[in-house]
Every structure is written in C-alpha cells, then in structure tokens.
Amino acid sequence: MSLSVWADKAVLRSTPTYPVSPLAYGKKVFRSIVLCIVLLIAVLSTNVFTWSSPINYCKAFLLSNLNKYGNEQLCSQYNVLVPKNLLWNTVGEVVGTEEFKYRAVDWLAGAIRIPTESYDDFGPIGEDPRWETFEHFHDYLLEAFPLVHSTLSLTKINTHSLLYEWTGTDSSLQPVLLAAHQDVVPVEPRTAADWTYPPYSGYFDGTRIWGRGAGDDKSGLISLMSAIELLLEAGFEPERTFVLAFGCDEEASGHFGALQLGKAMLEIYGPNAFAFIVDEGASGDISEHYGTVFAAPGVAEKGYLDLRVDVASPGGHSSIPPSHTTIGILSRLLVEFENSPFPVEMSTDSVFYGTLQCYAGHGKTIPSDLREAIVHSGSSEKALKKLGDILFKNPTNVALVGTTQAIDLIQGGVKSNALPEQAYAVVNHRISTLSSLAEVIDRDTDTLKGLANKFNLSFISFGKTISDTGASSAYGSLIFSDAFNNSLVPAPTTPTSGSKARPYELLSGTIQATYNVHRGLELESHNVVVAPGMPTGNTDTRYYWDLSDGQILRYNHRNSMAFKDVTSGVHTVDENLPIEAFLEMIRFFTTLILNTDESRSV
C-alpha cells in the first residue's frame, strides 16, 4: 500500500463518527498525534514525498479530533429509538412479505390513477368542475382503507380537504399532526407521449410504480394511511391523539386547502396545541454524501415572493415606433434583475451550515480542504469565507443559503402592428432564512430605481411612491406588486439541540430504527447520520405555524438511493417510486406513530 493511500485510510479511521466521552476523546486525539508522528517519520526515510502532503494529512487528523468530545460539537447524533410495543415487530414482519408488497402496490397505484391535478387558476370550489376529481379520490380512500374510516373521525374542510382524528385514550398528552397533500402537478399534455408508461396508469414494472404523484406526494399520503391501516389490523389503540391533515392544492399554494385546514385546526385545537408537526420533506430525504448515508429532515423553510413587474407606456401604430416599447423597457428591467443576483455569504446561522457540520463530522470521503474549512469556520471569518468560495461554485448550494430570483412569467402585447400599452413579468423569489420579505422588496426596488428614472417612468413599489415625474411629464409607469398575494416570510427554525429539541430527537431516533430494521441491520447501530436540512420549496406547513411552538419537521423517509440509474421525475416526465422505497416509508410511519405514542418527553 502506498504511503498516500495509507494516510487517506488513517484519516478515515481517526475521524470519530459519533459523540464520544472525554476519555475516548483523549484517546482519539492521542492516536491522531501518534499517526502524524509515524507519517512524518516515514517521510523522513524517503525522498519520494514532499512535506506538504503529510502536513496536510496531519492537519486533517487534528481538525477531525480537536473539537469538544470528538465531533459532538460538529454534529451530535441522538440514540436509535426502537418502539417497545411488540406490534412493531408484528407489523414489520407483515411489511416484509411478498403478499404485502403487492397490496402496497395496489394502494399507491390506485391513488395515482385518479388525476387530482391542481391549478394556479382554480376557480371557487363548487363552480370550477376541475375540483370534482377530488370526490373520486375520497371515495377511493374510503374503499382502500376501511379500518381507517371506521375508526378515525373525518371532517371535510372546505369540501375537499380532509381532517382525520385518531383519538387517543390519554387526553393529557399533546396530539401530533401528520400532514400530506392530495393534489399533484398537472401533466403537460404535450409531454404525455414522452412518458415510459402513461402518467396516470400507476403501472408497476416489478420494481417501480410509475405515474404522477408517485413521488410527490401521494406516496406520502398513502404510506401514512397504509401504516395506520396496518396498526389497526394489528389491534393498536393509541394513547396519544393523532391528527391527519390532507390539503387539496398544495401545488397551487394551498389557498383552498391548507389555509382553510389551518384555520379549522386552530379553532378546534387552539394555538400551539400540537407537540409537533410532520409534513412532506424533500424528494431525497435519505441520500449519500461523501461516502456516508444521511437523512435530512427539513427544519426550516425559505420565504416566498412572486414579484409582479408592470410596465405601461403609450400605444400607437407599430409603423411609428418609439425608441423603446413597453416590452423593450420590461426586457431591459428584467436583464437588470438577472445582472444583479442577490449576494450570498456563508453564515454559521444558516441551516445549510448545520448540514455541512454533519458532512464534516461524519462524511467518510469528504475532501480534507472542505473538512478543514468547515471545522475552522466556526471561529475564523477567513475560513468561513473560504468555505463559501468552495461551495458556492455549485448553484444548488447558492440556492440553499441565499435568496434566489427566477423570471418565470411574461406577457405583453395584443397584435403585431400595435404598440403594446401594457406588459408584465413575474419574478419568483425564495427568501433566505437569514433575510426578510421587506429586505427583498427594498432590494428589488433599489435595483430598478435607476432604470425607472432613465426611462422616465413613475415608480410605485407595493403602494409606496418611489419616483413621481408627474403624469404629464412621465413617459410611462412601473409598478411592483405581489402577483398572487402569496408572499411569505421565512419560517421559524425547528430546534435540533437543547431542551426544545425533543421532537427532532424522537424523529432522529425513528429514522435510524427504520433504516436499520428495513435492511436487517443491528437495531442499535448508527448506520445513517441525521442532519438538519431544508427543502428548497414550501410545504403546506406555511399555514400551520400557529399550531405548534416552532416544532415543524418536513420528512417522509423517501430513499433517493433506491433510484440508482433512474431519476424520480418529480414534477416532470416519468415520475416514479421504487417499491422498496415505498415499503420503507410505510415502516417509517409505523415506527413514528409507535415511538410518539410511547414518548412522554414531547
């Protein structure tokens, strides 16, 4: 084995994987120092290697170990939480059978075959016929899960949203809210022929279930219903009350669904009534990074703004055009936006920084320079900047930390020989958890203020006059507004450490137990690292903030590693879900319900 390869392996061996005691910590530091000395002696005995490489390895040793009690300061891990209830084994054995696999396929495939598409331009319920498909979906749920419907109480909120209550025997325990959504993103008709299998076929090829909603979010809803049906079949009666909330238009911002569900639950249960809330997570809740399996429950959400940019100027015949038409002015304004992206800086207060700490603490193959930057960044501004320089070459990392902007809609003009009098565009912003709605509006306003003056436009931003050249002298107008009255401030961040982190601790232990039992691994062993994460989009929980004291977890236990060489197709062609991933989701919700029912710390 070459010296460099040996050193690489030594770094991995010296890196602590989980929090250790002070004694164990001292031993690890001592071992690291010894390894460094051995490495340097080896270098002295050969002329092949330079000093720089061994010194870097030694730095990696020490950086990996010189944190309080190993990597506890970087990324502590909670204990695996295995339910004491023997029904966990009983239900788990059922989930592992070939017979149940096909039952699970039928459950999800049947749900996929009902096209519960939601649209941004939905009309009122009762007037827009496109809502009627949800009635068929409700009938399907009633038929597919008879014990759920004969045991739990069901209230329909605003006709199409579903609110179930599984009443527990101990009213002193805070209830828990488990959420999902019934609706799916519409299939673009022109792409229907591009699907491997028809988008609403629910086709099972022996490995995967295909169709719109397989990943987002009918698999979440159906796996939850499946878990409860199985527990009821096994005779389980909860002590704690569980509430299920299924919105009908999450993909269209939830105005008819989750908004109304939130109001109803606030009236029924009161503010901060729930111990915690679990809703859908990112499409890759479980994934591999740097040679280690990570699970990333979402503990925060970005804010949101659809900025509408309206430009108006005089019309007329296109044979006598001005220097700049309304569309031309709007185009120049949009170019200014794209030339002025929001600045992004790495901050120790961001959720992504917490994720990076776990990568550095537990990633087996993380590059030494990245690990070094992460470890040092907590106490060095220079290292923090270097960390940003390394990571922000990847646009995905920029999107996780900073405020983003995307020009998604544009419209203007009515005829080729008529000058357009009106033109508008919509710029979608996802607002950093370290920023605010007001800050984004102010920056957008400042970005275009100069161009508004250049084009002699009166400028009103969200009702506030920015520049007013007078109606008689202004060439036209520029107006900023909220395109769909959808704006949202960043969500509160769920605690992941300290006395208020009990729900996160419970979820973390549940994730690890589920992962182990599904693979036949030793139950108490740590085979998956749980790290704080954040979805890039928003969930229905945007309307549930008042229902729990900052305890919102966005996670479905969807295993992205199961896809291998086939993409999930979420929100696009060929959406699918491997049956193994779906079965594991059912195990997860079974484990979560049993662990939560037994817990007295939440």
Active site residues: 183, 250
Closest CA to 441 of 482, 398, 389: 482
Task: Report whether 330 contacts 550 (CB < 8 A).
Answer: no
**How many C-beta neighbours within 10 Å does residue 173 have?**
18
**How many C-beta neighbours within 10 Å does residue 380 have?**
13
The CA-atom distances, in angstroms, between 521 and each of 82, 210, 246, 274, 441 are 13, 29, 33, 33, 51
Task: Report whether 333 contacts 448 (CB < 8 A).
Answer: yes
Residue whose tokens read 């008819």: 256
Q: What's the rounded Cα separation, in Å, for the pair 319 and 416? A: 10
Helical H segments across 96-217, by residue range: 98-112, 133-144, 146-151
Please give the radius of gyration of the chain, using alpha carbons only, rounded to the nearest integer. Answer: 27
How far apart, in Å, do the first and last CA atoms of the chain sit? 51
Q: Is 472 exposed, middle or buried (0-12, 13-18, 19+ CB in 10 A)?
A: exposed
Q: What's the rounded Cα separation, in Å, for the pair 461 and 459? A: 7
Exposure string of 260-272, with b = 16+ CB inside 10 Å and e = fewer, is: bbbebbbeebeee
Task: Report whether 219 contacts 108 (CB < 8 A).
Answer: yes
